Amino acid sequence: MLILLCESEMVEFSTILQFIQAGGIIVGVAYYIMNIENNRKNQKLQLETRQAQLFMQIYAEQLKRGNIPGYDVVYHMEFDSPEEFEEKYGRENNPEAWYDFWLYNSYYEGIGVLVRENLVDIKLVALLNGGEVISGWEKFEKVTNHYRAKYHWPRWSIEWEYLYTTMKEYALENPELQIITS
């Protein structure tokens, strides 16, 4: 058996090998943990990138030439009650205005789903459309409730309503953004 002298004590070569093996295991575990952390950071960065790409696709859709006049029509809709809305802009009486309203409604309904499912961060929506989400919902809330009752469709615009509620909370928590809250 090979014996080495180490500071006036005798240490067996097998003991030194055990220490080297233990050190190797510790280094391997540390390397594994470091890789897991790096992978987690990369996945988070990829998710943020995908959210930004998805949001920019939504934004690009909003800016298409044909969509802007529709938003303008919706903003200029004037009514005092859901019944008056239906009379002036309903599907039977004014199909073009109804279609513009439906697109507007569907746009925010879709964004509401993306926010609810954490596919798009509410901050991105707030920075770009926060006030519009709030003012649009408040303008059409009674109309929405009217159609929910009329068509027995309790989920009519439920995701836009979720988006509105989430946006109101976010706006109140982040007053520096100066998002219109009423």
pTM of the model: 0.70
Ramachandran region, residue 8 (left: φ > 0; alpha: ψ -120 to 50; beta: rest): left
Burial 80-109 (b: 16+ CB within 10 A, else e): eebeebbeebbeeebeebbebbeebbebbb
What are the strands, taking DSSP E only, across the chain? 3-6, 9-12
Please give the chain's pLDDT, 182 residues, in tens.
444 444 545 567 788 878 788 888 888 888 888 888 888 888 888 877 877 787 777 777 766 656 555 667 788 899 999 999 999 999 999 999 998 899 889 889 999 999 999 888 999 899 988 998 999 999 999 999 999 999 999 999 999 999 999 999 999 999 999 997 66
User: What is the DSSP code (8-state) at residue 176?
Assistant: G
Residue with tokens 């309904």: 109
Domain boundaries, the chain: 14-51, 64-177
Distance CA 98, CA 101 (A): 5
Distance CA 158, CA 111 (A): 11
The pLDDT value given to residue 2: 47
